[in-house]
A and B are shown apart, each in its own frame.
Chain A
Amino acid sequence: MTTAGRAPIAAPRTTHIARSADQRSPADRFAGLGTMVRLVLRRNRVRLIVWLVVLVGMYQYIVSYYKSVFPTQQSLDDFAKLSNTPGIRALTGLSPAANTMGGAVWTKGWMTVVLALAIGVMFLVTRSGRADEEAGRTELLRSRVLGVHAYSVASWLVNGGLCVAVGVFIALVSIGGSLDPAGTGAAGSLASDSSASESGQSPGRCRRPPAAPTRSARPSSSCSTYSA
């Protein structure tokens, strides 16, 4: 003890709290979830819309731009050949059907959109997580009827919703741009949808409690690396 010599101070008592009091009721963990979803949506409504519009818009732009850049099958074949070099493959991955319009757009856009979405979700998770806590804003919330996981689950739900929305819109853009090779229906577009949604959510999953809590509001680097 560091306080030796200060006579008037009582020594700490050693009575211990009953064991039964250690556990919190599991039923209470998600109390207030609906209100927290509303709070996360309200706080981030502009951000969420901007991320959605920018990412889907970027994908749409790639589609229309590539249609003008690669008007012939010959040009698509050349692009596929170029994409199949080790350097480009390492940067973007290689589409299984690189010599189709869908494959070319995938090569150009998929990695960019997915990485941007992953980074965006990481910012959003931090914003409704540690950043809020460190600013002391969660104290008032936690003095109310709020389950221990309600806020983080609400944030995960909203960010997951953003990922799904981006994926769905990318699929719609792909279908709208007739990117699917003849005879495959919308399979390729839907694959882009699910892969974008999934990948976007991965950093959210990494940073969501009860995974090891990070000490600061900085994004953890282990989650931001993504391999194609």
Chain B
Amino acid sequence: MTTDDMAVDVEGLTKSFGRVHALRGLDLRVPAGQVTGFLGPNGAGKTTTIRILLGLLKADGGRASMLGGDPWSDAVRLHKNIAYVPGDVMLWPNLTGGEAIDILCRLSGPLDVKRKQTMLERFELDPTKKARAYSKGNRQKVALVAALASNAQLLLLDEPTSGLDPIMEAAFTESIREVKAQGRSVLLSSHIFAEVEKLADRITIIREGATVETGTMAELRHLTRTRVTVVLDQGADGLATMPGVHDFATSDGHITFAVDEAELPTVLTAVAARGPRSLVANPPSLEELFLRHYGDEMAALSAGSKK
């Protein structure tokens, strides 16, 4: 893919705050018209990256381009086509939610009243209340409505659903699908794996300021194991020793094991020959993939402390 197809193209981005290295050569690409999930533990550098993309912070090194421009020097021009939702929305206590939305929308161009109304209804937000009366979730909705009421080509969402109830999360999911259907791009940083898994076409996992994994869900699942739970009529003799079978365990007639992706057909054929009464096969969830990366780090840290 060429750079033109990328809404965001970041390569080797570095940023330090004094002696703290927040970003150490981070790579991130958001293809145009796609939703890219952005995952990482707390303090991994997600928000720093998004702030650099917004031109609020200046990168120390590396290359960052967004919608074909430089996020720092072209900030004002680029922001016409960008909508941002932070994870913690702060509003002016004596302004109503509606006034805050109007101010934010008016800054980015003419306000689309009809669209705003649709979003207000979808997120069930009362725009006549003062911001000081809003809960965390409602403040979050103000930023979401302001972002989704715009025609922005790129949405930068930094944990946008924090504080939202499950019904509103569903409304959010619906909205992002619409955005994607219109060919607009989304960078979705989130801690809710199910949400990212549902929405994201591509996923980038970062740790300590560097990209550790990037690709589609299918690519990330490559070389991972599928977890299988079966109840077999004819016993599980020999299954445990088959190549590619790991973590074999039996409890209460239920046999559970993990299978390498490559061995899955062979193992399932063997399972079929043993008369399965029930079979559940789960591909690794994003959460498991994430925890695997995060788990490595924990292992490395504990190994380091043993030395």
Give residues in A with beta carbon < 8 Å to B. Answer: 1-3, 5-17, 20-25, 28, 31-32, 35, 38-39, 42-43, 135-137, 139-147
Q: Per DSSP, are chain A's interface residues mostly helix, strand or loop, or mixed?
A: loop
Known: A6-B300, A17-B61, A144-B108. A1 touches B86 (CB 8 A): no
* CB contact under 8 A between A136 and B90, given known A7-B300, A12-B16: yes
B14 in contact with A13 (CB, 8 Å): yes
Beyond A12-B24, A146-B107, whether A6 also contacts B76 by CB under 8 A is no
* In the assembled complex, B287 has its CB within 8 A of some CB on chain A: no
With A17-B72, A143-B86 given, name 10 new contacts (CB 8 A): A15-B61, A25-B74, A28-B75, A39-B92, A135-B90, A140-B86, A140-B90, A140-B143, A141-B103, A145-B80
The B interface, classified by DSSP as helix, strand, loop or mixed, is mixed
Given contacts A6-B300, A22-B73, A144-B104, contact A12 B88 (CB under 8 A): no
The answer to whether A12 touches B73 (Cβ under 8 A) is no
The yes or no answer to B233 lying at the interface (CB within 8 A) is: no
Q: A28-B76, A137-B90 are in contact. Are A42 and B104 (CB under 8 A)?
A: no
Closest partner residue, chain A, to B301 (CB atom): A6
Complex A-B: 9 CB contacts under 8 Å:
A9-B24, A12-B60, A12-B61, A17-B72, A42-B95, A43-B95, A139-B86, A144-B107, A145-B80
Q: Interface code B76-93, partner A: CB below 8 Å = 1, 0 otherwise?
A: 110110111010111110
Chain A residues near B297 (CB-CB < 8 A) = 8
Q: Return the CB mask of B289-303 against A: 1 if under 8 Å, else 0.
A: 000000011001000
Q: How far is the CB of A215 from chain B (nearest CB, A)?
A: 16
Expressed in whole angstroms, the Cα–Cα distance for A185 and B62 within the complex equals: 68
A139 to B143, CA, bound (A): 11
Beta-carbon contact of A147 and B76 below 8 Å: yes
* Nearest CB on A from B74, distance (A): 8
**Best-buried of A39, A135, A146 by chain B (most CB within 10 Å):** A39
> A223–B56 Cα gap in the complex (Å)?
29
User: In the bound complex, do residue A141 and residue B107 qualify as a contact, i.e. CB atoms below 8 Å apart?
Assistant: yes
> Cα distance A136–B82 when bound, in Å?
19
**Contact (Cβ within 8 A) B63 A17:** yes
Expressed in whole angstroms, the Cα–Cα distance for A15 and B59 within the complex equals: 11
